[in-house]
Structures are given as C-alpha cells and as structure tokens.
C-alpha cells in the first residue's frame, strides 16, 4: 500500500582500468583546507552513506554464506586455485 515510502536500493558497479599507478601529490594548504570541508559537503555525505550501505551488504552476505569477515572474502578460496 505504501510502496512509495520504501527506499529502493540499486547497486551498480563500474570497472575502471588504470594504466599506470598515480604519483603521490604533495598536500598544499589549499588541499588540506578542501579536504577539511568535505565532512560537511552533502555529496560527500551521500557517498559515505552509500559506501557504508555496501559495506553492510557485503558483511551480511559474507557472514551468511561462506566467509566470516571481509578479509577472508577478499582472499581466493582453495577451490579457486
């Protein structure tokens, strides 16, 4: 009856190919100030919420299926070898 109130979760994955490792950049005062303001940016908050949701989904899937935690899930199993 009230389906429009339910939050719909749609998970999409993107594969990004990185050709070469990125070099580390020095942190300037402007960079530090910009990073310091991220905690109050609505887009950053939404991104962190999405990452937390994905983490919870992975932890739930791992604990219910084959693995105890995420570290064990990230290692190849003996049957994969």
* More confident call, 69 vs 78: 69
Tell me the C-alpha distance between 30 and 34, whole Å: 6
Q: What is the value of pTM for the model shown? A: 0.46
Q: pLDDT tens across 26-51, in order?
A: 889 999 998 899 889 999 999 999 99
Selected residue with higher pLDDT from 67 and 13: 13
Between 1-5, 12-16, 35-39, 48-52, the lowest mean confidence (pLDDT) is in 1-5
Domain borders along the chain are 51-81
């Amino acid at each position: 009856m009230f389906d429009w109130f339910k939050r719909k979760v749609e998970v999409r994955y993107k594969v990004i190919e990185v050709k070469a490792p990125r070099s580390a950049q020095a942190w300037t005062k402007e960079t530090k100030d910009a990073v310091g303001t991220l905690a109050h940016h609505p887009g950053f908050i939404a991104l962190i919420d999405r990452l937390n949701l994905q983490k919870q989904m992975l932890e739930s899937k791992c604990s219910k299926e084959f693995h105890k935690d995420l570290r064990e899930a990230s290692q190849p199993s003996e049957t994969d070898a």
